[in-house]
Amino acid sequence: MSWIKENPFVAVLGGVTVVGAGALLFLGTHFAGDYEKALTAYKDDSDVVAKAEKLNVYPTKTNAQAKSKAIEDYKSEIGKLQDAYRAFRPAEVKNIAPQEFTNNLKASSDKIRAAFTSANATLPESFFVGFENYKSSLAQEGATGILDYELGAFTNVFLALAKAGPKELKNVHRPLLAEESGGVFTDKEAIYRPMSLEVTFRGGEKAFREFGAALASSTDYYYVIRTVRVENDKLIGPVPGDAKFETAKAAGAGGASADPFAGFSLGGETAAPAGGDKAKPAAADSSKILQQVLGDEDVTVFVRLDVLRFLPAKDTSKL
């Protein structure tokens, strides 16, 4: 105690040093964990930045300009695509009087029946262009506009089918639109509205091929074939016994049989009859040969298609 009294400055200095050292020790221990966390976070962020710098789209000034150009090019291409489909984006569809729609429907049905009659093809007795539910009732006034558009598209489908030359239209099914039951089309994000039709017909392979080609080349409506099923009349391929060769007719007064190889082509040359000059090339009946190989049966075709009514173009400035 006497030493402290005799050396107060040294004692106070020593006390302050001890307290300060203790405080520093406490603070160092307390904040060491925070430092380690901060150092780890810094290293993690540094690694992310290092990886990003190696990417092609790292946000440098040059890359930012390139991205802006890419966005403008994208907008331009979207605009060109929308212009390309302008022909399939009709003006506002306006409703008409229900009786006027019925008159249009009857006129279309008569036109299609005449086309099928001219092609020697048959239609179902109940055929009414897929709108059979309006044979004895009027459409709702709020649905006549879109129905009349659909009628025009499907009339073209059946006229194209008649022109392709099928033998029979077997069945037609048209799913109802929302408007026909008082509803509305509500898909605000859609760029087009599909309207479906299912058709089953029977005829030759040529009819199926030409019908598909007509839909693909239409300039008035945009058709998309969603489903096709083709069933051959004969499920088993032709066998040798199916080939029916004509019997050679007798030649000359003596009744000798004609040369069975006369007129047979050998590498572009026609075989000559025995003891004579080369015969004139005979008109080849390739249809008989092909029928023996490919068959002459018909096919039954089921087609589900959509006609797409493109909706108003989107504003590309907001992309």
Task: Give residue-wise pLDDT tens across range 112-167.
Answer: 999 999 999 999 999 999 999 999 999 999 999 999 999 999 999 999 999 999 99
Residue 263 belongs to some domain of the structure: no
Residue 98 belongs to some domain of the structure: yes
More confident residue, 75 or 96: 96
Task: Give residue-wise pLDDT tens across range 238-269.
Answer: 666 666 656 655 555 555 555 555 544 444 44
CATH number, domain with residue 218 = 3.30.70.60
Residue 260 belongs to some domain of the structure: no
Secondary structure of residue 38 in the 3-state scheme: helix
What CA–CA distance (Å, rounded) separates 271 from 256?
18
Residue 16 belongs to some domain of the structure: no
Residue 65 belongs to some domain of the structure: no
What CA–CA distance (Å, rounded) separates 27 from 180?
79
Number of domains in the chain: 1
Does position 211 have pLDDT exceeding 80, yes or no?
A: yes
pLDDT at residue 178, as a whole number: 92
In this structure, what token pair is assigned to residue 159?
Answer: 């006229």
Supply φ then ψ for residue 222, to 5 degrees. Answer: -105, 110
Q: 130 lies in which domain range?
A: 87-236+297-318
Residue 18 belongs to some domain of the structure: no
Secondary structure of residue 237 in the 3-state scheme: coil
pLDDT at residue 311, as a whole number: 82
Residue 44 belongs to some domain of the structure: no
What CA–CA distance (Å, rounded) separates 161 from 170?
12
Does position 170 have pLDDT exceeding 50, yes or no?
A: yes
Q: What is the pTM of this model?
A: 0.62
Residue 266 belongs to some domain of the structure: no
Furthest C-alpha separation in the chain: 167
pLDDT at residue 70, as a whole number: 84
CA-closest candidate to residue 180, choices 213, 146, 156: 146
What CA–CA distance (Å, rounded) separates 159 from 173?
16
